[in-house]
Amino acid sequence: MMNAHSVSFATLALLCSTSVLAQTAPSPEARAAATAASMTEDERVILTNGILAIPLIPGMKMPEDAVVGSGYVPGVPRLGVPSLKETDATLGVAWEFGLRKNDDGATALPAGPAIGSTWNPALARKGGEVIGAEARAKGFNVMLAGGVNIIRDPRNGRSFEYISEDPLLSGLIAGEAVAGVQSNHIISTVKHFAFNGQETQRSFVNSLISEKNGRESDLLAFEIAIERGNPGAVMCAYNRVNGPYACDSDWLLNKVLKRDWRYKGFVMSDWGAVPGLHAASNGLDQQSAAMLDKANFFGKPLKDAAAKDPAMAARLKDMNQRILYAIYANGLDTNPSVKGPRNKAAGLATAEAIAKEGIVLLRNEHDVLPLTANARSIVVIGGYADTGVLSGGGSSQVQGEGGPVAAIPVGGDGPMAFLAQEQYHRSNPLRAITTQARGAKVSFQRGNNVGEAADAARKADVAIVFATEWRTEGTDSFDLALPNGQDQLIAAVAEANPNTIVVLETGGPVLMPWLNKTAAVLEAWYPGARGGEAIASILFGQTNPSGHLPLTFPASLDDLPRRTIEGERTNTLAPGGDKPNVEVNADYNIDGSDVGYRWNARKGKTALFPFGHGLTYTSFAYDDLRITGGKRVTATFTVRNTGAREGADVPQLYLVSAVGRKLQKLAGFDKVSLKPGEARKVTITVDPRIIAEWDTDANGWRIGAGSYEFALGASASTLKQAARVRLSAQRLKP
C-alpha cells in the first residue's frame, strides 16, 4: 500500500494520466451503444445480414473488399465500422473450392477428437492462435471456429470437427481454442448452438431434450466454452429444438444464452438456417448468407418492421449493439486484418505437436511398440499410407499448400455432392516410417489385394496396417464399420503376422471385429498436416504416447441409446439434400445428460475402449487422494512415474456417487509430465456445476446436502482410488 510521503511527483503524474486515460477510453459496450445510436435507418440493417462470399452463382458480383470465403457482411464506413470477412473453421482456414487466387493453402490442424485427446487446453489454445493468425494473414476477421457440440452420437458425420462426449472436456478445450483464435484480433464463433447431434435430415430433425438434461450436458459445454473463450459470436444450428428452429428459439437464444449466461456478443445463423423475420424477436442477431434462405429477412423486411413497431426498433438497436460490441471487444476496427505471409513453420510445428499428443495408443500387447532395431523388415499396408493422411469433408475442409495430394470423389446426388471428396493431406506416413526405421527394410502394399497383403505380412517381422474412415458434414457414419473391406484386410494380415499393428485414421469411434488378433492399435484420427511424422514418431518411440480418448468406443451399436439414427437418407450429402419436411425426432431424453461413458455407467455396459483410455510406454501410479469440501470441492493426490522413461499422464477425477445416487461424471483432470521415478502433487478444483443438478423450477443449479464420492482413474473404467466428502446444500445461479 503506498502512502502520500513515499509517492514521487512523477508517479503521481503517471497515476493521474493513466486514470485520465482510463476514463477517456470508453468500453466496447459504451462504444457500441454510441455507434448504434448514430446509425441512420438504412445503416441499421447493414450489419444484420450477410452474403455467401463465394462467386459460385454465375454473374454474382463480389463486394470490392470481400475475401473469397464463407461469408461477408458489409461495414458502415461512415462510422468506421469494418466489414466482416468470414472464413471456416475449427481445424484451420478452409479452402473454399480453391477459389482464392494465389492462396497458398493453410495449416490443417488434427481433427477435433485429436485435440480433445491431448486433454491439454493450453495446446488447444496454441492451435487456435495458429489458425487465427492464418485467417488474419488471408484478410479475414471472423473465424467460424469453436465447434463444441458434444459428440452425443458416435455416428455423427461431423464428429471429426468436435471434441468430446463430455461437456467439461469439450468446453475447456473449445474455450481455449477460441481464445487462441481471438488473440489475433479476429472474432471467433462457438457452434452449433445447440443439440446439433446428427447430419441426417439436419435441416428438419427435431432434437428433443428436457431443460434439466440439456443444461447438464450440451448446454454446459457451450457455457464453459463461452466463459473460457469469450467468443464474439455464437452460431445457432440448423436443427429444431423441442419444436422451434435453434435460430428461432426464444428459450435457447433469449433465455439461456442472453438472459442466464449474460452473453454480450451476437448470434449469427448457420448458412441457410433462418426460418423468418420472427427469428429476430427470438434472439437471432444476424442472418448469414441470406441468399440461402427464402428471403433476406434481416434486410428491408426488418427495416420496415422496425419503422412500424417500437419493440422491433428496440430489438434492431440491440442487434447492432451486439455485433458492434464483438467488433470493438476484439479490436477489428483498431487492428484491421492485413493480407500477408503466414508463418508456415509455426503452423506445422503446432499441428505436429497436437498430433503427437492427440494420437491414442489403444492396445499394445507384449510391448510390440515402440518398434526397436529387432524389426528388420516392416511391411506397411493400405490407408493410402504411401500418399498422405486423411481429412474430413464439408465446410471445415482445410487444404495444405498445393492442395490435397489425393482427392477421391465420393459421388452422390445432393446439390453439394460435387464437393464430396476424400482428401488426403501431404504428409506421408510411409516416408516418415522409412526415415525412422533406421535401416530396416520397409515395403508397401496397397491393400487392395488381401492375399498379397497377407503373404507380404507373413514374410515380415512387423506388419503395419493403416485403415481409414472418411466422415463429412452432411451425412452420418451409420454403422461405425471400417469401409471398403478393411476389416477383412486387417483380419487376414493379423492372421499372417502376430506382430500386426493397426493405425486408424478415423473421424470418430469404429468397431474392431479383428481386435483380438492384433498386437497393437493406434487411433490417429485425422492427424493433420504433419500426421505421418507424428504417427512414425510414436511407432518408433521418439514420442511417448499420451493421448486419452475423449469419447467412448462402443463395443456394439446395440449399446447406444438410439440403435439407429432417426431420419430418411435421401442422398450422400446435405445440405439441401435432405428430404423436405420429413418429421424426424432425435430423442435425446433417452440418454439425457448421461452421454457416452455416463450412459455405459448407467446401463452397466462395457466399452470396447472407454472414455479417458490411453496407453503409454511408461507407467504411472496414483496415491493419497484427498477430497475437501466447502465453497469449492478440491481434490489432491500424487502422481508418480513408475516406469523407465519420461512420459505424460492424464489423471482423471470422476464424481461417482451423489447423496447415495450412483453416477459417473468427469469432475476434473490434469496433464502431468514426469521423468522416471518423479512424483508430483496435483490439485484439482471441481466446478460446482458438475456436482450440482439443474433445478428447472428454480432456474438454477442445486447441490443437495449429503455425501459425495469421487474416484481417481486413468480412464472411466479404471478407477483406482476413491474418497468421500460431505457437502452442505448450495444453490448456484445459471
What residue ranges bind ligand GLC (CB under 6 A)? 70, 88-89, 144, 191, 270-271, 395, 575
CB of 344: closest distance to ligand GLC in angstroms? 24
Q: Which is nearer to ligand GLC, 144 or 584 (CB)?
A: 144
Query: Closest by alpha carbon to 475, among 556, 526, 528, 417?
Result: 417
Coil, strand or helix at 181: helix
Give the C-alpha separation, 670 to 590, whole Å: 31
CB of 478: closest distance to ligand GLC in angstroms? 20
Nearest-5° Cα angle at 514, 511 to 518: 120
Q: Which is nearer to ligand GLC, 89 or 172 (CB)?
A: 89
CB of 208: closest distance to ligand GLC in angstroms? 21
Phi then psi for 460, rounded to 5 degrees?
A: -100, 160
CB of 319: closest distance to ligand GLC in angstroms? 20
Q: How far is CA 2 from the centre of its chain?
A: 47
Q: Which is nearer to ligand GLC, 117 or 239 (CB)?
A: 239
CB of 100: closest distance to ligand GLC in angstroms? 14
CB of 20: closest distance to ligand GLC in angstroms? 43
Q: Which is nearer to ligand GLC, 163 or 686 (CB)?
A: 163
Q: Which is nearer to ligand GLC, 218 or 649 (CB)?
A: 218
Q: Which is nearer to ligand GLC, 416 or 719 (CB)?
A: 416
Number of alpha helices (DSSP H) and beta strands (DSSP E) in the chain: 17, 30
Q: Which is nearer to ligand GLC, 144 or 360 (CB)?
A: 144
For 500, residues 6+ apart whose C-beta sits below 8 A from its C-beta are 457, 462, 463, 464, 465, 490, 493, 494, 517, 518, 519, 520
Question: One-letter amino acid identity for 74?
Answer: P
Q: Which helix (H) or strand (E) holds 443?
A: strand 441-445
CB of 187: closest distance to ligand GLC in angstroms? 13
CB of 574: closest distance to ligand GLC in angstroms? 9
Give the C-alpha separation, 427 to 629, whole Å: 49
The residue whose grid cell reads 448469414 is 288
DSSP E strands in 164-271: the ranges are 187-193, 206-208, 233-236, 240-241, 266-268
Q: How far is CA 127 from CA 93, 119, 267, 349, 656, in A?
A: 12, 13, 24, 10, 33
CB of 70: closest distance to ligand GLC in angstroms? 4
Question: One-letter amino acid identity for 418?
Answer: F
Q: Which is nearer to ligand GLC, 53 or 538 (CB)?
A: 53
Query: Closest by alpha carbon to 147, among 34, 37, 229, 249?
Result: 229
Give the C-alpha separation, 264 to 523, whole Å: 39
Q: Which is nearer to ligand GLC, 392 or 596 (CB)?
A: 392
CB of 87: closest distance to ligand GLC in angstroms? 9
Q: Which is nearer to ligand GLC, 271 or 620 (CB)?
A: 271
